[in-house]
Amino acid sequence: MDRKRLFRTVLAVAVTLCIGAHCTAAPVEVVFWHPFDSGTPRDAIEELIEVFNASRDDIRVVGQVVPDLIEKVRVAVIGGSPPDVATNLYPWREGAIGMLTDLTPFAERDGLSLEEEFFPAGIPEAYYGGVLYGLPWFHVVHPVLFYRIDAYERAGLDGNSPPATWEELRALSTRLTQRSAEGVVTQLNFDWGKGAAENAFPMYYRVAGGEYVDPTGTRVIVNNDLARRVLNFLVEVREEIQSDLAVAVGTFYTGGRVHMLNGNWMAPNIQSGYPHLVPGVDWAMAPFPVPEGSPQQTVMSSRYMTIPKGAPNADAAWEFVKWLTGPEASRLYSLRRNLLPAHRDAVGDPAFADAFLFWDVQQAMLSHGIPEWGTVPIPDVANFLSVMELAYTKGLTRTVSPESALEEAARLMQAFLDEHLAD
C-alpha cells in the first residue's frame, strides 16, 4: 500500500468512527500556522489535518501557510492575535522571551512524560528554565558521513566498515587520497567540512559531546580540555589538506571525494539525482565519527509543535499538538516525508525499512542522538555562537594559538550571556 492510499484508509476509518459516534457538536476552531507552502510537505500536513478533523467532533483544525513564521508569531503574540498552534525550531528561545504557552500543566494533567515517549535528542530544547514550551515532532541529522564503497574496495578496504573515529578517518588519507602524475588530487579522502572552515568548530565540538554552558545555564565553559583538543585537531587537519584542496578535482558524486559530510536528507537526494550510484553498492551512509575514546553520538536538529502565548483555544490546541506529535501521526508524517520521527513508538512499523535508505543506520542514530545546541539550551543561540566564531576563527587560522582563541571565545560569550540574562 503506497503512502497516499494509507492516508486515505486512515481518513476513511476516522470518518466512519465519527459518524458512528453521531458527531454533532459545534467544533472549536484551532488555527494552525506552518511554513509548508508546496509539494510533499504541504500535502503531508494537509492530509494529517484531514485525519485529525475526521476523528474529532469537538475540534476543527484550520491550517494556514505563513512565511517567516517565527517572526510572524512574535508579531501576532505582541499584537494580541496569535494562532492556536505553530511549528517552531527554537521553543526554548521563544519561550524564554515570553512568546509561547507553558505546556507543563497540560503534560502533567495527561501524564505525558517526554523521557518515556520521545527520543532523547529532542527533549532538552523543548524546555527553558524547567518550563516545557514544545513537543518534539521530527528530527534531521547533521552531520552524517557518506562514503564511496567503490573507492574503499579499489583500495582493498572493507566497504562495510566505515571509520568510527576522527583518527581512523584521518588515517585513511594514506590509502584513499590519490594524485595524478601532474600532482592533481583526483580523489580526496575527506575535506573535513570544506577544509575545517570557520563554521566547523561548533559542529565537531558538539559531536565530541562538548557543551557551551554549565548545567545552570549561567557560566560559559568552552575553554576546556575537550574544546582545546577539538580545535587543535581541526587546525592540524586543516593544514594537512590545504594544499590538496587547492588542486582537488571532482565531487563525491563523480568520485572525486571518498567521504562527504552532509545531512541524512541527502540519502534520497543522491538516489534520485544520481541513479547510476547504487546505494549499498557504490555508496553508503554511517554515523559521523567521534574522537577516539568518546561514545558514539549523533547531533540532531529537531522541529517542535508549540502553542503561542495567548492562544485563544489553548485546550483544543493541546489536543491537536499531542495528537500530531503522538505515535500514529508521527509515523504517518515521517513515512510521507522521509523524516526521522521524534516519538519512540513511531518506528516499529516495518514500512520504515522500505521507506528509508540505510534504515538500520538511521534508527541507530536516533538512539544515540544529542541536541544540536547543547543539553542546556541557550537563548538567542545564533548570536551567541556568532560571538564565539569571532574568536575561534583566529585559532583555526593560527592568528593566535588555539588556547588563546578559546580564552577569548569564553570571555566574549560570557559577556554576551551575562547581558542577555540581565535583561
Same domain, 318 and 294: no
Q: What is the pLDDT of residue 242?
A: 82
**Contact status, residue 89 vs residue 303, Cβ threshold 8 Å:** yes
Question: Among the three residues 328, 345, 371, which one is the final residue of a domain in this structure?
Answer: 371
Q: What is the pLDDT of residue 13?
A: 53
Same domain, 57 and 150: no
Give the three-class secondary structure for 194: helix
Q: Torsion over CA of 116, 118, 122 and 124, rounded to 10 degrees?
A: -10
Please state, rounded to an integer, the average pLDDT across all residues of the chain.
91
Q: What is the pLDDT of residue 386?
A: 84
Q: Where are the alpha helices (DSSP H) in 185-313?
A: 192-196, 200-207, 225-247, 266-273
Q: What is the pLDDT of residue 21?
A: 46
Same domain, 313 and 231: no
Whole-number Å distance between alpha carbons of 208 and 296? 9
- Tell me the pLDDT tens digit for each residue of 34-49: 999 999 999 999 999 9
Q: Which range marks the domain in which residue 245 is found?
A: 144-299
Q: What is the pLDDT of residue 391?
A: 82
Q: What is the pLDDT of residue 390?
A: 80
Question: 267 pLDDT band (50/70/90 cuts)?
Answer: very high
Same domain, 270 and 329: no
How many CB atoms sit inside 10 A of residue 198's CB?
15
Q: Is the pLDDT of residue 243 over 90?
A: no
Q: What is the pLDDT of residue 115?
A: 96
Q: What is the pLDDT of residue 19?
A: 43
Flag the least confident range among 54-68, 109-123, 234-248: 234-248
- Tell me the pLDDT tens digit for each residue of 91-120: 999 999 999 999 999 999 999 999 999 999
Q: What is the pLDDT of residue 4?
A: 58
Same domain, 292 and 320: no
Q: Is the pLDDT of residue 232 over 70?
A: yes
Environment class of residue 128 by beta-carbon count within 10 Å: exposed (0-12), middle (13-18) or buried (19+)? buried
CA 233 to chain centre: 25
Q: Which residue has the higher pLDDT, 202 or 382?
A: 202
Instruction: Express as a percent the part of the chain with pLDDT over 70.
Output: 92
Mean pLDDT calculated for residue range 53-81: 97
Whole-number Å distance between alpha carbons of 192 and 167? 12
Q: Which residue has the higher pLDDT, 6 or 304?
A: 304
- Tell me the pLDDT tens digit for each residue of 388-399: 888 888 888 889
- Tell me the pLDDT tens digit for each residue of 146-167: 999 999 999 999 999 999 999 9
Same domain, 152 and 265: yes
Q: Grid coordinates representing 290?
A: 567521534
Q: What is the pLDDT of residue 199?
A: 63
Domain presence at residue 42 = yes
Q: How many domains does the chain have?
A: 2
For the chain, the straight-line distance linking the first and the last C-alpha, in angstroms and rounded, comes to 54
Q: Is the dihedral of CA 414, 419, 420, 423 positive or negative?
A: positive
Q: What is the pLDDT of residue 177?
A: 96
Q: Which residue has the higher pLDDT, 234 or 33?
A: 33
CATH, residue 92: 3.40.190.10
Question: Among the three residues 275, 299, 323, which one is the final residue of a domain in this structure?
Answer: 299
Q: Is the pLDDT of residue 1 over 80?
A: no
The conformation of residue 190, written as its DSSP 8-state character, comes to -
Domain presence at residue 190 = yes
Q: What is the pLDDT of residue 20?
A: 46
**Contact status, residue 257 vs residue 250, Cβ threshold 8 Å:** yes
Burial 209-228 (b: 16+ CB within 10 A, else e): ebbbbeeebeebbbbeebbb
Domain presence at residue 387 = no
Q: Grid coordinates representing 10?
A: 486512515
Distances 203 to 157, 212, 262, 377 between C-alpha atoms, Å: 28, 12, 12, 16
Q: Is the pLDDT of residue 195 over 60?
A: no
Q: CB under 8 Å, gap of 24 or more: what pairs does 319-323 form? A: 319/56, 319/59, 320/30, 320/32, 320/52, 320/59, 320/61, 320/84, 320/85, 321/85, 321/103, 321/135, 322/106, 322/110, 322/112, 322/135, 323/52
Question: 258 pLDDT band (50/70/90 cuts)?
Answer: very high
Whole-number Å distance between alpha carbons of 148 and 250? 13
- Tell me the pLDDT tens digit for each residue of 360-388: 999 999 999 999 989 998 888 888 888 88
Same domain, 123 and 91: yes
**Contact status, residue 303 vs residue 87, Cβ threshold 8 Å:** yes
Domain presence at residue 115 = yes
Same domain, 130 and 159: no
Same domain, 11 and 98: yes
Same domain, 188 and 95: no
- Tell me the pLDDT tens digit for each residue of 314-363: 999 999 999 999 999 999 999 999 999 999 999 989 999 999 999 999 99
Give the three-class secondary structure for 244: helix
